[in-house]
Amino acid sequence: MRINNVITKINQNEKSFGINLVFPSTTIVELTGQAGFDFITFDSEHGPFTIDLLDDLCRVADMSGITPMARVPDISDSTILRFLDRGIMGITGPHITDGAKAEQLAGAARYVPSGKRSFGSGRGAHYGDFPSGQAYMEHVNSNIIVIAQLEDIEVLENIDDILAVDGIDFFASGPQDIAQSMGLPGQPNHPKVKEFENKVINHVHNAGKRMADDVMASARATTLFLEGAKTYLQSEI
pLDDT in the model for residue 133: 83
Burial of residue 73 (number of CB atoms within 10 Å: 0-12, 13-18, 19+):
middle
pTM: 0.95
Alpha-carbon distances of 20 from 72, 157, 182, 204, 222, rounded to whole Å: 13, 30, 26, 24, 9
On whether the CB atoms of residues 156 and 196 are closer than 8 A, the answer is yes
Q: Is the dihedral of CA 52, 146, 144, 8 positive or negative?
A: positive
On whether the CB atoms of residues 175 and 135 are closer than 8 A, the answer is no
Inter-helix orientation angle 51-64/26-35, to 10°: 20
Distance CA 206, CA 216 (A): 20
Q: What is the pLDDT along the chain (237 residues), one digit of tens a residue?
A: 899 999 999 999 999 999 999 999 999 999 999 999 999 999 999 999 999 999 999 999 999 999 999 999 999 999 999 999 999 999 999 999 999 999 999 999 999 999 999 998 888 888 878 877 889 999 999 999 999 999 999 999 999 999 999 999 999 999 999 999 999 999 999 999 999 999 999 999 999 999 999 999 999 999 999 999 999 999 977
- Domains of the chain plus CATH, in order, are 5-236 (3.20.20.60)
Distance CA 76, CA 93 (A): 10
φ/ψ of 145, rounded to 5, equals -110, 130
On whether the CB atoms of residues 96 and 149 are closer than 8 A, the answer is yes
Alpha-carbon distances of 234 from 202, 219, 225, rounded to whole Å: 41, 22, 14
* Nearest alpha-carbon partner for 92 in 6, 193, 197, 189: 6
On whether the CB atoms of residues 13 and 97 are closer than 8 A, the answer is no
pLDDT in the model for residue 236: 76
Distance CA 85, CA 131 (A): 18
Spell out the alpha helix ranges (H) of the chain: 5-11, 26-35, 51-64, 77-84, 99-109, 133-143, 155-163, 175-181, 191-206, 221-236
